[in-house]
Structure 1
């Protein structure tokens, strides 16, 4: 298959639905063989089957970012099928993590968010690095909530700020391997994981963007394709906000 990602094998976590599913399809349409991973095993299998039936080259593996042993086992299995050229760290605990202010926030929920969104991203990247070919690319999915300080969402905002900081450190450490690491910061996107977000928060975004209106997964996928392609071959350690101009970096 031709395309910007022809002959590349790319892992996408959190790929069963929402942004991750759109990433998987978009990368496959650009010629990549996509390795889809998610904790939602049933939804993952359904999405992988649907994309395969449409002509996409797909592999799928269940993964739990809260379990270090599961991360290692999944990437060992991925490695048995060959090297990879890219990784999209999209999986995160994002549903049901807001609504309380910093004075009320549940410390146990804080720990769960950090375990998945921060430690899980680090451990996934660590497991992937031995499989990455020289010239490989990693895209970490952060959030623009960390750029403007969304209220009543403390742990999620903090976790995505940490992802941005880790991206810069990873880029310096992995540069000697010629592996690039960048982050994207999508705005509030209309997907299953954001259905719980109050209508007023959606309206805040949709009315406050330079490009007014709702944001959808396809508004984000093109930037991920570019960061994984050879067109961005000298770009690393950068943060790309993708939010229609709600906040500028």
Structure 2
């Protein structure tokens, strides 16, 4: 990643922060975004001089356009794009509301679509993109059906975008974690945590660095002939 310019949307904490840190360790210059200014500043400071934080709401098309324009202004191009902004809140069918539905699709899907759209004018031919999905894209996980539906949408978009951008040699892939120890997961009850761990053959949740390593691989030239794919980091949960 030496000399690469990377933008990580949703890179202030959790998996996104781990990916931003992994890219930096491999030599990339990283611009990371988050909704809360203090979290963004802390994340960039922790990663070090190769990172810069930009406050932005991933659900805002104008904010995404501002971020990509800033990346081009500062560095002239974008080589690596990570679309990680995500939201996961439970709701059964009877509990679902329009606001809950719209909020999840705005953050989990709309942000990815308009993030890549805003980035494309600054992206070099041969650039790489990773969408952070979830193995929930093909599983019936109650009461997180809307969350799963958003991740299924991302998986579909990745296939279409990989085909559409192939002429520019821009690769688009998905890293799909299983249950992962993040702040988002910390809000889940202990009973739910154990229920999530039970079907994982390796007997634990993923660490964020394990997901980040998979994402960095897909973004790197080591994965130069991989596009439109989904790499599951799930301890065998969906594989066995």
Out of 17, 23, 27, the position equivalent to 2:19 is 23
Match of 1:126 in 2: 117
Q: Is 1:57 the counterpart of 2:50 in the alignment?
A: yes
Structure 2 unaligned spans of 5+: none
Q: Verify the 8 A CA contact 2:205 2:235 in the aligned structure 1.
A: no
The number of aligned residues is 239
> In the alignment, does 2:31 pair up with 1:38?
no
The equivalent of 2:101 in structure 1 is 110
Q: Where in structure 2 are the equivalents of 1:122-161 lying within 5 Å?
A: 122-161=113-152
CA drift at 1:193: 1.4
- Larger deviation, residues 179-188 vs 190-199: 190-199
Q: Which runs of 5+ in 1 are unaligned?
A: none
State the Cα deviation string for residues 88-119 of structure 1 (Å, max 9, x = none): 1011123xx11x21122112110111112111
- The alpha-carbon deviation at position 200 of structure 1 amounts to 2.6
Pairwise CA RMSD: 1.3
Contact 1:9/1:32, CA 8 A, preserved across alignment: yes
Separation in 1, partners of 2:199, 2:107: 30
Residue 77 (structure 2) pairs with residue 86 (structure 1):
no
Q: CA deviation at 1:7?
A: 1.1
Aligned to 2:165, the other structure's residue is in SS state helix
> What is the alpha-carbon distance in structure 2 between the residues aligned to residue 23 and residue 65 of structure 1?
17
Cross-structure match for 1:76: 69
CA contact (8 A) 1:187 1:242 kept: yes
Q: Distance in 2 between matches of 1:169 and 1:40?
A: 32
Distance across 1 between alignment mates of 2:225 and 2:121: 21
Q: 2:185 & 2:204 partners in 1: Cα distance?
A: 16
Give me the whole-angstrom Cα distance separating, in 1, the residues matched to 2:51 and 2:105.
30
Q: Deviations over 1:53-97 (max 9, x none)?
A: xxx511221111221112112211111012111111011123xx1
Matches of 1:111 and 1:210, distance apart in 2? 34
Question: How far apart in 2 are the matches of 1:49 and 1:229?
Answer: 24
Contact 1:205 1:246 (C-alpha < 8 Å) held by counterparts = no
The structural deviation recorded for 1:237 is 0.4
Once residues 66 and 26 of structure 2 are traced to their aligned partners in structure 1, the CA distance between those partners, rounded to angstroms, is: 28
Deviation for aligned residue 1:147: 2.1
Give 1:205 deviation, angstroms. 3.0
What is the Cα deviation at residue 213 of structure 1? 1.5
Q: Which residue of 2 aligns with 1:184?
A: 175
